[in-house]
Amino acid sequence: MEVAPLMLQFLSHRACSRDTMDSLLFQPTRFLYCCDDKDRTVFVHLGSVIRHFMYFLDQFERSGHYGRVKGRSLESLLLDEIEGRTQFRRIWEPGHRLPYQVAGRTGTDVDVFVQKGELAVMFDCKSYGVNRSYELGDGQLCWERSEQAKRWLRFAQQTAMVIAEHRVDLGLPESIRGILPFVCTGWPEFLFEPSQDYFMPDGMPRIATVREIVGYLADLDEQSGSNLLLDEWAVLFDS
């Protein structure tokens, strides 16, 4: 029974900082049943909990890697959370494929694409896990992961540029004036310097977890959303 408190702590955790992975990805909705908000009474489905933990533990022991979330699952989760908790709404379904090349590559998918007022926000979802060496701070792995994460964001911006260039043929809503690209990841990505360019002026990471993204979008009204069109990473449409 000594492990039970740790299980409960993991399952009920709400990531409020970038010190832990985004536990929502690994927390199916039927593990916890909140019965009374006043006294915070919670029932836990222990059968599901044990099966869930044993699966990831087995994967980790076999390969040294945490189980990764399937890409489509991460996309669906992000879109569901955005539409359920913010006023942003989808423009395309998750994984919409562009018929144009992006940075010389064909078959680029737009994972999650949402709009509120004049602002469209595009997310490139990366479900890659991490391994023991990364968790233990292997310098080379951490550097490579940092550089890879930066490339993800630059590619997301290039994708936004292609969408803006072909916005008429793609049938985008006329009310949109620009696109702000982000990357959504399962683990917080810790970037080596220089990293200032990969955070917004208010500190919001441009390579962010589901919780960070949803919390950020939930606080945006139409005026503040329109102001984001002045952001250095925003891709504006031609008049």
Query: Domain boundary residue among 63, 80, 102?
Result: 63
**Per-residue pLDDT, 188:** 82
- Claim to verify: residue 139 and residue 195 sit in the same structural domain: yes
The amino acid that residue 89 corresponds to is R
Number of H helices, E strands in the chain: 7, 10
- Claim to verify: residue 50 and residue 99 sit in the same structural domain: no
Total domains in the fold of the chain: 2
**Per-residue pLDDT, 187:** 78
Query: Domain boundary residue among 44, 63, 82?
Result: 63
**Per-residue pLDDT, 139:** 82
What is the three-class DSSP state of 105? strand
pLDDT beneath 70, residues of the chain: 1-70, 132, 135, 239
Q: What share of the chain is helix, strand, coil (3-state, %, to 5)?
A: 40, 20, 40
**Residue 22 near residue 205, CB atoms below 8 Å:** no
- Claim to verify: residue 109 and residue 218 sit in the same structural domain: yes
- Claim to verify: residue 85 and residue 147 sit in the same structural domain: yes
Put simply, whether the predicted model's pTM sits higher than 0.85 gets the answer no
3-state per-residue secondary structure call for 182-207:
EEEECCCCCCCCCCHHHECCCCCECE
**Per-residue pLDDT, 127:** 80
Query: Domain boundary residue among 19, 35, 63?
Result: 63
Q: Which two tokens stand for residue 223?
A: 């005026």
**Per-residue pLDDT, 172:** 96
Q: End-to-end alpha-carbon separation of the chain, Å?
A: 64
**Per-residue pLDDT, 191:** 84
**Per-residue pLDDT, 53:** 57
Domain that holds residue 116: 71-236
pLDDT digits (tens, 9 = 90+) for 3-43: 455 555 544 444 344 544 444 444 444 445 455 555 555 55
**Per-residue pLDDT, 23:** 45
Q: Compute CA distances 1 → 8, 10, 81, whole Å.
A: 11, 15, 34
**Per-residue pLDDT, 189:** 85
- Claim to verify: residue 20 and residue 86 sit in the same structural domain: no
